[in-house]
A and B are shown apart, each in its own frame.
Chain A
Amino acid sequence: MSRGYYDYPVVRRPVWTWEVPAYFWLGGMAAGAYVTASLAQTFGSPDDRRAAAGGYYVAAAALVPCAPLLIADLGRPDRFHHMLRIFKPLSPMNLGAWTLTGFTPIAFARAASHAAGTGLLRGPLGALSRLVPTRLAELAGCVLGLTLAGYSGVLLAATNIPLWAKSKLLGGLFMASALASGSAAVTLQAARRGAPDTTLHRLAMLESAASAGEIAVLAGYLVQSGRTARPLTRGRFAAPFWLGAVGAGAVVPFVLHRLAARRRGRALQSLSTVAGLCTIAGSLALRWSIFEAGKISSEDQGASFELSSD
């Protein structure tokens, strides 16, 4: 017998739909790609810089659907601009709206500046893009990008949904997944355009570090959540979570990158490509399964009581 009022839920079921995890995934990937590209620009060799700069294109492209997805999920999409009528960083939703508003033009400007530099963008637009202060754009973009990658998990955690709120690590988990998928996207385009082996090796090392970090944070998240994590680890979302998020998203790419460390040429490019695709797919599976399992968790009276009685 339940302790509460029949078996009725204590909290309400979130009203959000698929647009939200899709946005978390794309926004995180954009941020991760931007940060990876900027790290290569700042610390890398000329080869690294050339190969990783494509990450700015990835970031810009992934950001295109972000704002439309966020707007589509609103109950009143015609009032999307009300998000920006106040500045209230206490609300992760408000912070995220401002961050996306700031990050999107910077990412586009940096991508345009790279396009102008390679001669892809000519004419007056190219001339204008050449004026973009690249160093400043990289620094500001990294700060805003890391905020964008890092706030989404905190947003879900700043609720009373047991699966999202119990652990301290959901923000860190989404951050790790964003950086892993973003660096994977950079690797994908670098491998496709035949980047030198050294650069691919470096990207593989960075990615395997991100995957290892993600596995560690994920383990911590599951331990802290305990029985609360059941809607995620068992039942309908067990397959997308274990096979998609954990397997394809973190374990497989980690192993492939370890293998790639000793390969060269075509073999290296193929391994990097497969690992990158796995990471990106797994990143989507992670956001989607945690997001959807949260709805089941919201109906768990016992988990709500456990969350609110520590």
Chain B
Amino acid sequence: MIDTYKRLMNVEPPPPAKKPRGFFTDTSLCIGCKACEVACKQWNRLPADGFAMTGNSYDNTGSLGATTWRHVQFIEQAKANSSRQDQRWLMMSDVCKHCANAACLEACPTGALIRTEYDTVYVQQDICNGCGFCVPACPFGVIDRAPKHGQFEPGTAHKCTLCYDRLKDDMTPACAKSCPTASIQFGDVEELQQRARRRLAELKARGETKAELYGMPEGKEAAEVGPLHAFFLLLDRPQTYNLPELPRLPRKTMAQRYGWSAAVGVGFALVGALVFGRRR
């Protein structure tokens, strides 16, 4: 019967699963050239966001959004009267984390957000009806809805696709391809994780005591959202890069919230039964 339904409804079988693919973004190598931002915009034909100046270092991109899928942060750590050694300029190319337990995907009511055969999170543009629930669900502030009356894919949700179209042709995503310092590395997630552990050990040995990995299976940040398939090597605490210490998965708290809601409803029904049922 299910087969008949699938035939009638024209349900395609999903493509066979591939090895999980992802990004390892090693911020210790980032030079802030923004080639990733440009390559991403060009390949994915994302419109420019205007020429607003933020006044915050060289970051005039501001944040990820519907038409910005890579965002290079510039963190200037220079205290007054500090020695040169204490002064640092941290750069980091932020991107969708392609969480193993993705809040956006769980929130999506239409099934537009799916997990691909590469274990990445992808918005099907022909399905999304722009309900906007994925936007506040994401703990990292990644996904956004394009303006309803704009030029670019109006009214639907957008974020990094990990260049799904390029993966289909065994090509490297545009940002990783264009990165001149291999700060953005693309590959099989497991292999990238091994590489990241080695790189962290190397940096620690060189005296980068504050270096840490963010989004690894063993990390505490993976407790709810799971390992991030786009993970990072950071040179300071996650919050320095606006990354939450413990990114929340809304599903984890939902049962409790429904429970209180139901308790109020049942309480009202009981009071009603008592009030109306009382004999005069």
Partner of B138, one of A12, A80, A301: A12
Chain B residues whose CB sits within 8 angstroms of the CB of A11 once the complex forms: 136, 138-141
State the Cβ distance, A27 to closest chain B Cβ, in Å.
14
10 contacts across the A-B interface (CB closer than 8 A): A48-B276, A79-B128, A83-B110, A146-B262, A157-B253, A160-B250, A165-B253, A168-B260, A206-B276, A308-B248
Q: Per a CB cutoff under 8 Å, which of A9, A91, A308 touches B108?
A: A91
Cα-based distance from A44 to B278 in the complex (angstroms): 8
Rounded to whole angstroms, the CA-CA distance of A219 and B155 in the bound complex is: 38
A40 lies within 8 A of B276 (CB): yes
- Find chain B residues with CB under 8 A from A205 CB: 275
Contact pattern, B 125-146, Cβ under 8 Å of A = 1, otherwise 0:
0011111110111111111111
The answer to the question of A3 belonging to the interface, with a C-beta cut-off of 8 Å to chain B, is yes
Chain A 268-310 against B: per-residue CB contact (8 Å), 1 yes, 0 no?
Answer: 0000000000000000000000000010001001001101111
For the complex, is B46 an interface residue (Cβ under 8 Å from A)?
A: no
Q: A206-B271, A298-B136 are in contact. Are A170 and B155 (CB under 8 A)?
A: no
4 additional A-B pairs beyond A39-B276, A93-B108, beta carbons within 8 Å, are A35-B272, A90-B251, A153-B261, A209-B275
A155 to B276, CA, bound (A): 32
Specify which chain A residues have a CB less than 8 angstroms from the CB of B157 in the assembled complex. Answer: 75
Query: In the bound complex, what is the Cα–Cα distance between A206 and B272 (angstroms)?
Result: 6
Distance of A51 from chain B, by nearest CB (Å) = 11
A: interface residue count bin: 35 or more
Q: Does B277 contact A (CB under 8 A)?
A: yes
Complex contacts, B140 vs chain A, CB 8 Å = 10-11
Contact of A256 with B by CB under 8 A: no
Task: List the A side residues contacting B56 at CB < 8 Å.
Answer: 6
B262 contacts across to A, CB distance below 8 A: 146, 150
Q: Given A43-B272, A169-B260, A14–B251 Cβ distance below 8 Å? A: no
Binds B, one of A59-67, A121-129, A174-182, A227-235: A174-182
Q: Tell me if A111 counts as interface (CB < 8 A to partner B).
A: no
CB < 8 Å neighbour of A94 from B109, B240, B273: B109
A101 within 8 A of B: no
- Name the distance in Å between A152's Cβ and chain B's nearest Cβ: 9
Which residues B231-261 have CB closer than 8 A to chain A? 239-242, 244-248, 250-251, 253-254, 256-258, 260-261
Known contacts A10-B242, A150-B258, A175-B261; decide if A83 and B131 are in contact (CB<8 Å).
yes
B107: which A residues are within 8 A, CB to CB? 91, 93, 158-159
Known contacts: A39-B269, A157-B257, A175-B265. The answer to whether A308 contacts B245 by CB under 8 A is yes
Taking a contact as CB atoms under 8 Å apart, the answer to whether A10 and B106 are in contact is no
Residues of A within 8 A of B48 (CB): none
Q: Which residue of B62, B143, B273 is within 8 Å of A42 (Cβ)? A: B273
Residue positions of A touching B, CB distance < 8 A: 3-6, 8-16, 35-36, 39-40, 42-45, 48, 73-77, 79-80, 82-83, 85-86, 88, 90-94, 97, 142, 146, 149-151, 153-155, 157-161, 164-165, 168-172, 174-176, 179, 198, 202, 205-206, 209-210, 213, 217, 294, 298, 301, 304-305, 307-310
Cα A170 to Cα B138 in complex, Å, equals 19
Minimum C-beta distance from B13 to chain A (A): 17
Closest A residue to B268 by beta carbon equals A179
Cα-based distance from A219 to B277 in the complex (angstroms):
30
Bound complex: CA of A233 vs CA of B68, how far in Å? 34
Residues of B within 8 A of A73 (CB): 131-132
Specify which of B108, B136, B156, B276 is in contact with A75 (CB 8 Å cutoff): B156
When the two chains form their complex, are residues A172 and B264 in contact, meaning their CB atoms are under 8 A apart?
yes
- Are the C-beta atoms of B137 and A160 separated by less than 8 Å? yes
For A75, what are the chain B residues with a Cβ–Cβ distance below 8 Å?
128-132, 145-146, 148, 154-157
Residues of B within 8 A of A79 (CB): 110, 127-130
Give, as a whole number of angstroms, the nearest-CB distance from B10 to chain A.
Answer: 12
In the bound complex, residues from chain A placing their C-beta under 8 Å from that of B141 are: 9-12
Taking CB atoms, residues of chain A closer than 8 Å to B269 are 35, 39, 142, 146
Question: Which residues of chain B come closer than 8 Å to A42, judged between CB atoms?
Answer: 273, 276
The yes or no answer to B111 lying at the interface (CB within 8 A) is: yes
Asked if A174 and B261 sit within 8 Å, CB to CB, the answer is: yes
A153 CA / B264 CA spacing, docked (Å): 12
Residues of A within 8 A of B131 (CB): 73-75, 83, 93
Q: B95: shortest Cβ distance to chain A, in Å?
A: 15
Whether a CB of chain A sits under 8 angstroms from the CB of B39 is: no
Given the interface pairs A44-B276, A88-B111, the reply to whether A168 lies near B145 with Cβ below 8 Å is no
Q: Is the CB of A82 within 8 A of B127?
A: yes
Contacts of B264 in A (CB 8 A): 150, 172, 175-176, 179, 213, 217
A149 vs chain B, min Cβ distance (A): 7
Contact A8 B135 (CB under 8 A): no
